[in-house]
Amino acid sequence: MIEVAKLQPDYLGFIFYKKSARYFEGTIPELPKSIKKVGVFVNASIEDIIEKVKTHGLDAIQLHGEESPEFCKALCHAVPIAIGIVSASQPIEIIKVFSIKDDFDFNLLKPYESVCDYYLFDTKGKLPGGNGYAFNWNVLKQYPSTKPYFLSGGIGLEELENLKSFFKTEASKYCHSIDVNSKFEMEPGLKNIKKLKPFKQKLSF
């Protein structure tokens, strides 16, 4: 984790889903303030999310399950109150994940527009995430929102040229961040710095 932090990513994710091989049970070490700590949850209760936010000082919450717009709205209200945030300059970011394969109904996003800060588009597979292969990014040509989004799903070194091409298209206009995971792992939860470092160096957009 410390070695990954040395690469100065904008975000570092911690999986709080017990069925995941990457489930995080430890203590997060002190990280540079520029790195946002993201808790990843799958159909967790608001109480459980709040407990993890308090325990680990999370800066963002990634919802990777079937969380409804109503749940997201309730979470937006509950978390700041529970952890004592009184200033809009100290927000807890809410990232709602949507899974894509060959196509996607973007109408599904409308109820979430006012209850999350970002979308994350991942590959639809057997697992809630970390399936190891990319979806068809051309689908994002139809993206109807101005909300910034994370691009995820099986992104590795071999995707560098495709990413550079993607960032030349209109579809990438609202792409906020690239989320990488399984393609840079030596084992679940353990990142390969020798792959991550050149990826970050070569990818500039």
Report pLDDT for 64: 95
Pairing state between β 93-100 and 175-178: unpaired
Contact 12, 37 (CB under 8 A): yes
Report the C-alpha gap between 194 and 184 in whole angstroms. 9
pLDDT confidence tier of residue 81, bands split at 50, 70 and 90: confident
Domain that holds residue 30: 2-99+107-202
Write the burial class of residue 51 (CB in 10 Å: 0-12 exposed, 13-18 middle, 19+ buried): middle
pTM above 0.75, yes or no: yes
Write the burial class of residue 127 (CB in 10 Å: 0-12 exposed, 13-18 middle, 19+ buried): middle
pLDDT confidence tier of residue 86, bands split at 50, 70 and 90: low
60-77 tens-digit pLDDT: 999 999 999 999 999 999
Go through the chain and tell me how many residues it has: 205
169-204 tens-digit pLDDT: 999 999 999 999 888 988 888 898 999 999 988 886
The CATH number of residue 190's host domain is 3.20.20.70
91-122 tens-digit pLDDT: 799 999 999 988 899 999 999 999 999 999 99
The tally of domains found in the chain comes to 1
